[in-house]
Amino acid sequence: MSGWAGGGNPILALLLAAMWASGTPAAQLQDSGAPVVTAVATRMVPDERLPLTGSVTARRITALSPKVDGFVEAIHVDAGDYVHAGDVVVELDKRLAELEVQQAVAAVDESRARLAEAERQRKETAELVGRKHLPQTELAARTAEVSIQTAALVSLQAERRRREEILARHVIRAPFEGAIASKRTEVGEWVATGSPVVEILELDTLRIEVPVPQRYYDRIDAGTPVQLLFDAAPSAPVTATVTMKIPSGRADARTFPVRIDMPNPNHRYAPGMSVRVILAVDRGDAAEVLLVPRDAIVASVDGSKLLWLVADSDGVTVARSLAVETGRPQGNRIEVSGAGIGPGDRVIVRGNERLEPGQRVRVIQER
C-alpha cells in the first residue's frame, strides 16, 4: 500500500486501510483532513529535578531468637524461604515443659476439689450454727478455710498459665510476612535466650534512604514526588513519594536523610540493590512556565524547533506551525516559550511529522 495517498504517515495509513476495507474511497478520507492527536498546553510552576543515589533496605528486618533456653528440635525453614505471620520457624525440645504443664494442671484440679470441699463444710457448719448446735466461731473458721482454698486455687491457676506460656515459647513463629535471609542454627544445637536462630526481612514494602544536601531541606517534605530508577530494571521507573525527612543530619557532609517507603507487591526488587532517586523539588517562588508534551516538539535540520497548533480557519480545522524555544524537561513535558502560544492552546503530538502550514487536520484523539 506504499502507493496510497497516505504517504509516510503511519496513522493516516492505518485509517486509510480501515476505510479501504469498508469500501470507502481513500480520497474521501484525505478530504476530511490528516488525522492528528492533540494535547493542551498548560502553565505551572516547574519542579526542580534533584538526582541522588540511594540504597534499598528492608523496612523491617528481625533476627528471631528464643525466649527460653533449649535444644533445637526442628527447623522448618531455610534461607530464601517465604513465610507468613504466625508460621512456625523453629521448635525447641519441649518435653520437660509439657510435663510441667501437666503437673500444674493436676495441681489446679486438686486445689479446685479442696475448695469445693471447704465450701461444702462451710455450708453444713452454717446450718448447724443456725440450729445452735455449733458456736459462731466454727463458722468463721470454715469461712476462712474457703478463703484460703480460693487463694490457693488462684495461685495455682497463675502458675499453670506461666508454665503454659513457657511451653508456648518453645515454638518460635514469624512475627510478620517476609523472607528468611539467613539460618543461624541447626537441629540438636543448644540455644540460649537472645541467641539469633534465623533472620527474617519484609519484602512487601522496601525502604530507600538518600542523603539530601542541606540547601534543599526546607523544599522537601512528606509527599514530595519521587522517581526511582533501579539498575536492575533501568527501563521500568517507579513513581513514589517521600515518606519522611529525618531532622538529624551528618555534620561532616551537611546532608539530611530522606526516607522513601516503596510498595513491592511482586517482590521484583530486593534489599541491597542500588537505585537512582530523582526528587521533584519545589522551586518555591519560581515563575510559572508553559509546558507541552515532548512529542509536540519537531526539530529541524538546522537545529531550530517548532510545534504545530490546531487552529480554526473559516470553520475548517487546520494546522499552524510556530517556532519556539525549549527549556527544562518536566517528566514527559517540556518548557516552551514563543509568541503566539499560551495555556489552553491545543498542540499536535501525533501526526505532526509531515504537516504543511494551513493543512486541513482532523483530531482523532485529545490527551
The domain that contains 147 carries what CATH number?
A: 1.10.287.470
Specify whether 294 is located in the same domain as 243: no
Kindly report the pTM of this predicted structure: 0.62
Query: Do 41 and 53 have their domain in common?
Result: no
Which pLDDT band, with edges at 50, 70 and 90, does 49 fall under?
confident
pLDDT digits (tens, 9 = 90+) for 167-219: 999 999 999 999 999 999 999 999 999 899 999 999 999 999 999 988 888 88
Residue 158 pLDDT: 98
CATH code for the domain in which residue 335 is found: 2.40.420.20
Report yes or no on 218 lying in a domain: yes
Closest Cα partner for 293 from 339, 227, 347, 365? Answer: 347
CA distances from 138 to 96, 115, 211, 228 (A): 44, 17, 81, 84
Query: How much is the pLDDT for 266?
Result: 87
Q: With beta carbons less than 8 A apart as the criterion, state whether 277 and 210 touch.
A: yes
Which pLDDT tens digit goes with each residue over 138-151?
A: 999 999 999 999 99
Number of Cβ within 10 Å of residue 233's Cβ equals 13
Distances, alpha carbon 118 to alpha carbons 131, 145, 148, in Å: 20, 6, 9
CA distance 90 to 100: 21
Residue 77 lies in a domain: no
Domain assignment of residue 10, given as a range: 1-32
Looking at residues 299-326, what average pLDDT do you find?
90
Show which of 127, 150, 169 is a domain's final residue: 169
Inside any domain, residue 83? no
- Please check whether residue 120 lies inside any domain of the structure: yes
Same domain as 343, residue 333: yes
What total of structural domains would you count in the chain? 4
Has residue 215 been placed in a domain?
yes
Q: How many Cβ atoms are within 10 Å of 139's Cβ, its own excluded?
A: 17
| Residue 71 domain-assigned (yes or no) | no
